[in-house]
Chains A and B, each alone.
Chain A
Amino acid sequence: MEKEKKVVETNPAQEKTADQIIKENTALRDAEIKELKRKNEAELKQRLASTDSKEERKRIKEQNKVDLYNQISEIKNKYNDLLAHSLPSGANKDKRHMGMKSKRIIGNTTIYIILIIMTFIWLFPFVCILLQSFRVESTHMVGYIIPKQWGFDNYINLFTKKAFNDGGFGRWYFNTLIISIFVALIQTIIVLCMSYTLSRIRFKGRKFLMNFMLILGMFPGMLTMIILYRVLKDMGLTESHAIPGLILVYVASSGMGYYVSKGFFDTLPKSLDEAARVDGANRAQVFFKVILPLSKPIVIYTLLTAFMGPWGDYIFATYVAHHEETGMNVAVGLQNLISSEQSINANYTMFCAGGVLVAIPITILFMILQKYYVEGVTGGAVKG
């Protein structure tokens, strides 16, 4: 019985309680249905026996099924109506079974519980890193979380242990900063050029170009690393001069990441372009004067993602820096700190401190520009 039943305040003076009424009603109804089914079965047997053709029998069975269903529904409705009217009506709000409101409250509470658990799980590692970075009493990994002695030693050590020019944390940070800034600027320009063209201008070979880049993207990026490293080496752009080399490699192929920006440009109405062209603007003017001013969200999104990229790139940066510490970025440098058994014991907390220092500015940037990021991801990414 899925129907909600009304409930009445148990009043001993009343003849029958609501429960009793419901029970009676159900019993009567089920009895009638059983009787009906029994009769129906007998009838059905008779009718089936009266014919020989398989087709006819099938049809009779189908028809019978439908008829039976309808009859049972009628009975059910009859008893439901009876029930609804035999229970005293009133405007009371005590319900024994869950009404809509209580169902909702339970649902929401469960959700809150899940969300709180999730918050804990998600934030836990970062809280740990943060706490570990203040630990002073030891520098290796330990089994507890909260430091016994607090202090800024790890942070200080990061910068003082190795001088800037020798390749200490400060150097790595600086390197990565430079790389990020250049990459952000150049990559944005390249990506914008690429995505605008592919989005707005229908030129011969456009489809071919897009498919070609799609196929290129299916090759694992690892492969190209080796040869790029060789080329950079021949040009002298590795090890201590890794920075220009890295910048060059990052921006050169960045045109392939045009999807999100293109999606964004697709949403701008074409009538803007057309109006400008009729006014006499050539394509270049349309781009600079009409489209770009409207593209603030996507420009910021591209700048942001381009800026955040180099901070996390480990693989290629390792290759190019090739153990030369003045050429490392933060990812490589920090990884190096804990790469071997001894070094991890000596540098674990420094690693945490370094991680915090890297994470904070990026997180702040990200939060500030979160609105643009969300617009970018949801607006462009899924339309592909």
Chain B
Amino acid sequence: MASVKLTDVKKIYQGNVVAVHDFNLDIKDKEFIVFVGPSGCGKSTTLRMIAGLEEISEGTIEIDGVVVNDLQPKDRYISMVFQNYALYPHLTVFENMAFPLRLLRPRMPNAEIYKRVTQAAEVLGITQYLTRKPKALSGGQRQRVAIGRAMVKDCKVFLMDEPLSNLDAKLRNQMRAEIILLRKKIDTTFIYVTHDQTEAMTLGDRIVIMKDGFIMQVGSPTEVFDHPNNLFVAEFIGAPKMNIVKSQLLKEGDKYYVNPFGSKIEVGGAKGKQLLAKNVETQDILLGFRPEHVRLEQNPSASNFKVTLEVNEMMGSELHLHVVAEDGSKLIVRIPTIQLNDKEREEMVYGKELYLSFEGKVMHFFNPETEISLLSNQESPQKSDLKQDVPEE
């Protein structure tokens, strides 16, 4: 059993720079948790605090019910894979992987070391490289050796710090699949750090989205995708980004409407009922809708708004249409290619006028000042809590 519990964990650097604010998280045994966020959001710092490579300024971290704040890394039963692999250049692959085992006291018998290393090598497919040195391996192979070295130990928590960032795109996809397979073979808790939201979505049981040291949201990929708690999460998850436009939320009796660019679209279905249940009043909001949830309509009407097409990116199975609304805001629309017939596809050129609409269930509403979703059920930091953007000199 290897649950990890972080309670009110803070990391403060010299000069009162707070890198991680009040981090609270309960990780269940054998869960695959991903910390994701932009550069400098504190995800690596948190991981390193769990590993014992950084000191915890405040709060406690428990691994398997034991408070580990003052324990050395080696006593915490963790394994870690580093971004730059951290392989010992003068040792062979075999010795690299055997390194942690040789440090155990009382000594592990040589036969056992050999068995474990070769087993791990077989799982990862690097048996033929066992006698080579790291310099003779490609990036992907080195990554596997790093993973192998982490695998041979008995560990309760398996930490990975941006392991795929140094690989090229194709290799990254391949390794992603391998990590998923790996997870089935090593049945333990995983904590994975990345800045790539695709990795987060595909790998994680639960995702922790961070910014500026705050947890912006915690949830499963579906939750985070369908119900972003705040503007940052909404824009961070999903590619291309969610479209955000200024609008108003109008309450008329029991119905709610939004009015982007002069249209008036009803917020129907479950979303409408939720708004009602929360007694939300008429207010200015930031309205969010994903590019793939947009409907293209041919004719103008009250419930759609006009946009002009600027760029049409042919992605193969879809078209990404970059459009400009009447007030100059830029939006993106994703349309499956088969939805349009040949004639319509030909017409998708610069200057074409289109009419966009969407349903209530795909709408997201955010308070313009706090940037928090009106329907959120998790506590979330407000915009004012976060660091201001660095002004250019």
Asked if B359 is at the interface of the complex by the 8 Å CB criterion, the answer is no
Complex partner residue of A100 from B66, B70, B111, B115, CB under 8 angstroms: B70
Contacts of A6 in B (CB 8 A): 66-67
A100-B72 in contact given A6-B67, A89-B66 (Cβ < 8 Å): yes
- Scoring B7, B55, B109 by chain A CB atoms within 10 A of each residue's CB, the highest score goes to B109
Binds A, one of B57-65, B236-244, B343-351: B57-65
Closest CB-CB distance, A82 to chain B, in whole Å? 12
B72 and A4 within 8 A (CB): yes
Interface assignment of A66: CB less than 8 Å from any CB of chain B = yes
Contact for B71 among A77, A91, A100, CB less than 8 A = A100
Interface assignment of B392: CB less than 8 Å from any CB of chain A: no
Counting chain B residues whose Cβ lies within 8 A of the other chain, the interface size class is 20 to 34
Interface string of A96-122 (1 = CB under 8 A from B): 000111000000000000000000000
Q: Report the Cα distance A124→B344, complex, angstroms.
A: 90
**How many pairs of residues, A versus B, come closer than 8 Å at their CB atoms?**
50
B75 near A69: Cβ-Cβ < 8 Å: no
- Once A3-B75, A4-B72, A4-B75 are accepted as A-B contacts, the answer to whether A90 and B67 lie under 8 Å apart by CB is yes
Given A2-B105, A99-B71 in contact, is the A84-B66 Cβ separation under 8 Å? yes
- Nearest to B7 among chain A residues (CB) is A91
A131 to chain B, nearest CB (A): 40
**What is the CA–CA distance of A93 and B59 in the complex, to the nearest angstrom?**
11
CB <8 Å contact, B70 and A4: yes
Cβ of B52 within 8 Å of any chain A Cβ, yes or no, is yes
Cα–Cα distance between A84 and B68 once the two chains are bound (Å): 11
Q: Which residues 63-81 in A have Cβ within 8 Å of B in the complex?
A: 63, 65-66, 69-70, 73, 77, 81
Report how far A99 CA is from B112 CA in the complex, Å: 32
**Assembled-state Cα–Cα distance A66/B112 (Å):** 6
Q: Name the CB-closest residue of A to B60.
A: A91
Q: What's the minimum C-beta distance from B44 to chain A, rounded to whole angstroms?
A: 19
Provide the bound-state CA to CA distance between A238 and B176, in Å: 79
Q: Which of B67, B69, B70, B108 gathers the greatest number of chain A CB atoms within 10 Å?
A: B70
CB–CB A69/B64 < 8 A: no
Contacts of B67 in A (CB 8 A): 6, 89-91
Are B71 and A4 in touch, CB under 8 angstroms? yes
Asked whether B75 lies within 8 Å of A89 as measured between CB atoms, the reply is no
Cβ–Cβ contact A84 & B109, under 8 A: no
A72 to chain B, nearest CB (A): 8
Question: What is the total number of residues of chain A having a CB less than 8 Å from a CB of chain B?
Answer: 23
Would you give the 0/1 interface string for B219-237, flagging 1 where the beta carbon is closer than 8 Å to chain A? Answer: 0000000000000000000
Within 8 A of A (CB), among B46-101: 52, 55, 60, 62, 64-67, 69-72, 75
Given A84-B64, A84-B65, A91-B60: A69 touches B108 (CB 8 Å cut-off)? yes
Give chain B interface residues in 322-380, CB to chain A under 8 Å: none
B75 neighbours in A (Cβ, 8 Å): 2-4
Q: Does A62 contact B (CB under 8 A)?
A: yes
Q: Does the CB pair A65–B70 fall under 8 Å?
A: no
What residues on B are CB-neighbors of A81 within 8 Å? 64
- The answer to whether A66 touches B115, judged by C-beta atoms less than 8 angstroms apart, is yes
Name 17 extra pairs, CB < 8 A, besides A3-B75, A89-B62: A4-B70, A4-B71, A4-B72, A6-B67, A62-B111, A65-B109, A66-B109, A69-B112, A70-B112, A73-B154, A81-B64, A84-B66, A89-B67, A99-B69, A99-B71, A100-B71, A100-B72
A-B contact pairs, 11 of them (CB 8 A): A2-B75, A4-B70, A62-B111, A63-B111, A77-B154, A89-B62, A89-B67, A90-B67, A91-B60, A93-B69, A95-B70
Question: Interface of A with B (CB < 8 Å)?
Answer: 2-4, 6, 62-63, 65-66, 69-70, 73, 77, 81, 84-85, 89-91, 93, 95, 99-101
B residues adjacent to A (C-beta < 8 A): 7, 52, 55, 60, 62, 64-67, 69-72, 75, 105, 108-109, 111-112, 115, 154
